[in-house]
Structure 1
Amino acid sequence: MNTRFFGSLIFFTLASGLFAEPELKSIFNGKNLSGWQPPKGNDEAGWYKAEDGVLKIQSGPKRKGSILWTKKEYRNFVMEFDFRFGEGVVDSGMHLRNQDQIQIGISGSLKRDMTCSPYIPGKGYPVEASNIKKLLKPKDWNTMRIQAVGKKYTVWLQGEKVMNYVSASAAEKGPVGIQLHGNRNMSIDYRNLKLAEIKTVAAVSAPLVYEGIEGPGKGKHIVFIASDHEYRGEETCPAIARILAKRYGFKCTVLFGLDEQGHIKAGSSNVPGIEALGNADMLFLFLRFLAPEDEWMKQFTSYLDRGGPVLGLRTTTHAFNKLQGKYAYYNFNSRNKEYDWGFGRQILGETWRPQEGAGHYGRNHQYSTRMFVVPEQKDHPVVRGVEDMHTLAGAYSAVPIKGSVILGKNQVLDSMKPDGKPVENKPPSPSIWVREYQSTSGKKGRVFCSTQGASEDIISEGVRRCIINGVFWCMGMEKHIKPKMNVDFVGPYQPTPFSFGGEAQNVKPSDLADWDSPIMPKGEKHKPKKTVKRRK
């Protein structure tokens, strides 16, 4: 058996949580079919039998199809086994809790090898496993590993991941079955069949919650979702959340993109805890190019359907990418006639569309950005008390959707310093605006959007104040916005220079749980994989 699996696959993920290392246990004793439910007629036909540690499967004289099911039913699990093709045109497969199966051998409908691909009744083969021709050994033992977690199936062959698929028809619980396809003269052998049920580790993936005590926000719940690849939304969000909770009484729940070990992973589409949106009064987003599973998107959409207020920073204008099926219209580049340019344009008011004037404007790490309040909006509650907004992230250009109220614009500077000079041929572009969107419930939801907001940007008190004012305004609480509101950081704030691959390593949400926990932790353990050189 291929042993490369064991050291590499220690944790497993699901949209709503993480899973502890499973201990694989044998589900076939190699001597008989104990623990399995042989199909009627097996004793006479001999379709399934145990010989010297091998489960031997072969067609009978009538070439009747059948399935050998486990007696036990499973929810989330990982299984591993060896298989070897025998005589004839082999058409077998592993059923996962119902009629969904992972194909092993030649597809009867496609007339070609579809090993490791999912066969879904009514859909056929919705995706095809990759690199099978190179990995599959037609005349020798092969090792396959299958993970079934919720509706998601993942398959490895010879230690290499070859397929991911989310099945709408997946069963919550059921047995595992080995198929012998009918109308075939064939044989196939299986051995070393092992399986482990996957148990959740709720404490690892629990959302980060800052409980407010007193203030105008008492009784109000804000959900933050942080998962972008570059601008350190995983630092901006908890920093703003702490201020709103500690100083103004809001309950702030912060959800992060996580890796398989429960560490914060920039840009991960695995964002546990989305259920928190069910009772949220406000949604605060810092996202980029995510493709969550349908169940996650369903809950996200439900929030928007009720017209909840939304605040989006920086790359949230292009929050979603490569979503397929039901929620593809959310993608940043969607040209759905009823939802043109996706979530970004339709909810926040802009997306990522450089050819239409919404893209990079100031070169990162070379040019910084100064933002200013447009004179005609100087009395708007969102910019009350806002002064001196300087950001290190390069400017974006934007053409906000009709109906947006532009509150601030940017100016590209020729250095990374606040006193840099404006770059010629770069006229100011909208960088702060507010609007309303029409929900399916008929209610209008307030929106604040800024093309800035990187973790280093909010070092600027003016930027920080504008964002916090934006939260109050979105929630209809503008009467509480004061010019001298306290927007000081709560606890040590030591942001990581933004860049792709520049996030602090080995940080879990629980590491940020205390008011005085540093954002982010420092030291060799947390050193980013990449650092960036900047023009002074």
Structure 2
Amino acid sequence: MRKICLCLLLIMTTTGVLFAQSSPKKQPLVVFVTGDHEYSSEETLPLIAAALEKDYGMKTIVLKASPDYNSEENIPGLEALAQADLAVFFLRWRRLPPEQLAHIEAYLKSGKPVMGFRTTTHAFHFPEGHASEKWNAFGEFALNAPPGWGGAAKHTHYGHESSTDVSIIPQQANNPILTGVAKKFHVRSWLYRVLPDYPTKGSTWLLMGKAVNPDKAAIENPVAWTGTNSFGGRVFMTTMGHPEDFRQEPFQRLVINAIHYELGLKVPRKWKGKIDIQVPYRVAK
């Protein structure tokens, strides 16, 4: 947990009396890195960022793929990660150049916290034999999630026409991240299969998902977890993230709580109110 140090300044008054004054708390900086073909992360996450600034005293930067969300090879501004206290990723099948990947790698190696949404399990998609092919396993080494889509990881889903019933894992009912989160709620995201091998050993499962109207035989799977990644950084990962999920108050509270947890801050018990997020889903490229 990151420690926040409050320095005391000794101030001399006109009467010669010394008194202590606390220096202002540093505003944590959260950097959101977006770039997906499907879930409109470049629209949903700026609304989360705005709420963090307005209601929770944080600073934020939102980075977007350029020239648009379908651009797989360019996310300008990644140098901002050098000053970030938390990096939040919502990516899908990017092929960033080495100079941009270097900023992400430096952040990960710093051991700072990392947060991921849904398709960030398969954030990168370099061809076999490419010099940056190792990044295809970003989900695993950064977020304790499956290393890419399909294949040996058996990472798949239960059909675009399905949705998910979510419930708090009873043993985690008092986890601070779940403060104010409904015990049961429903999201539009079709359930991702991450079992049997993920989340990686040592992760803490927070929420379980049950597929509704699946297109194949379905098993329940964790949809949110915490842990420590291979760089020693604190992790929060959720396989939810459909734009309609962001309309749900339990999901919004989960996200705001998790950001505080990742930063080592006390999770707010007082909810500032539902965030107005009305972003459409788009069919994947």
TM-score (norm 2): 0.83
- Report whether the alignment pairs 1:432 with 2:231: no
Contact kept in structure 2, 1:232 and 1:498, CA below 8 Å? yes
Give the drift of 1:435.
0.7
Matched, 1:493 2:277: yes
Tell me the distance in 2 between the aligned counterparts of 1:290 and 1:500: 14
Q: Is 2:45 the counterpart of 1:258?
A: no
User: Does structure 1 conserve the Cα–Cα contact (< 8 Å) formed by 2:179 and 2:267?
Assistant: no
Conserved? CA contact 2:121–2:149, under 8 Å: no
Of structures 1 and 2, the larger Rg is shown by: 1
Q: Distance in 2 between the 1:300 and 1:424 partners?
A: 37
Q: Which residue of 1 aligns with 2:260?
A: 472
Cα deviation 1:350-406 (Å, max 9, x = unaligned)? 123435464333211x11112111111111111111114321121101121111111
Asked if structure 2 preserves the Cα contact closer than 8 Å seen for 1:227 and 1:233, the reply is: yes
Tell me what 2:9 maps to: none
1:329 is matched with which residue? 134
1:220 is aligned to 28
1:447 matches 2:235: yes
SS of aligned partner of 1:236: helix
SS of residue matched to 1:480 = coil
**1:314-352 deviation digits (Å, cap 9, x = unpaired):** 000111111775533111xxxxxxxxxx21111111123
Could you tell me which amino acid in structure 1 is paired with residue 134 of structure 2? Y
Residues 354, 362 of structure 1: CA spacing in aligned structure 2 closer, same or farther, 3 A cutoff?
A: same
User: Aligned with 1:254: secondary structure?
Assistant: strand
C-alpha contact 1:243 1:488 (8 A) present in aligned 2: no
Number of residue pairs matched? Answer: 256
2:41 is the alignment partner of 1:233: yes
Q: What are structure 1's unaligned runs of at least 5 residues? A: 1-215, 332-341, 415-421, 502-536
8 Å contact from structure 1 (residues 288, 319) kept in 2? yes
CA distance in structure 2 between the partners assigned to 1:270 and 1:328 by the alignment: 17
Deviation at 1:423, TM superposition (A): 8.7
Q: Is the 8 A contact 1:433 1:448 kept in 2?
A: yes
Please state how far the C-alpha of 1:461 moved relative to its aligned partner. 0.7
Q: What is the deviation of 1:459?
A: 0.7
Displacement of 1:468: 1.4
Change (3 A) 1:308 1:218: same
Give the corresponding residue for 2:18: none
- Map of 1:302 onto structure 2: 106
SS of residue matched to 1:312: strand
Map of 1:41 onto structure 2: none
C-alpha RMSD of matched pairs (Å): 2.2
Match of 1:275? 79
CA 1:249 to 1:325, structure 2 compared with 1: closer, same or farther past 3 Å?
A: same
Closer, same or farther: CA 266–236 of 1 in aligned 2, 3 Å? farther
2:102 aligned counterpart, secondary structure: helix
Asked if the contact 2:38/2:281 (under 8 Å) is kept, the reply is no
Alpha-carbon distance in 2 for matches of 1:360, 1:410? 14
Pairing 1:316–2:120 present: yes
The letter for the 1-side match of 2:158 is G
Taking the aligned partners of 1:493 and 1:306, their CA distance within structure 2 comes to 33
Tell me the equivalent position of 1:54: none
Shift in Å at residue 292 of structure 1? 0.8
Cα distance in 2 for residues equivalent to 1:217 and 1:396: 39
Contact 1:455/1:498 (<8 A) preserved:
no
1:297, distance to aligned residue in structure 2 (A): 0.8
Unaligned runs of 5+ in 2: 1-23
CA deviation profile, 1:1-26 (whole Å, cap 9, x unmatched): xxxxxxxxxxxxxxxxxxxxxxxxxx
- Larger relative helix fraction: 2
Q: Is the CA contact 2:261–2:267 (under 8 Å) kept in the aligned structure 1?
A: no
- Pair 1:245–1:266, CA change in 2 (3 A): farther
**Matches of 1:373 and 1:361, distance apart in 2:** 20
Matched with 2:10 is: none
Letter in 2 for 1:463: F
| Residues 359 and 493 (structure 1), Cα distance of their counterparts in 2 relative to 1, 3 Å cut | same
Partner of 2:199: 400
Distance 1:258 1:248 in 2: 29
- The answer (yes or no) to whether the contact 1:267–1:289 under 8 Å persists in 2 is no
Q: TM-score w.r.t. structure 1 length?
A: 0.45
For residues 69 and 156 of structure 2, the distance between their equivalents in structure 1, rounded to whole angstroms, comes to 24
- CA spacing shift, 1:315–1:445, aligned 2, 3 Å: same
- Alignment partner of 1:292 is 2:84: no
Is the 2:159–2:215 contact (alpha carbons within 8 Å) kept by the matching residues of 1? no
Higher relative contact order (CA 8 A, sep 6+): 2
1:278 shift after superposition: 1.4
Mapped to 2, the partners of 1:232 and 1:251 lie a distance apart of 22
Distance 1:343 1:217, change over 3 A: farther
- Indicate whether 1:244 and 2:52 are aligned: yes
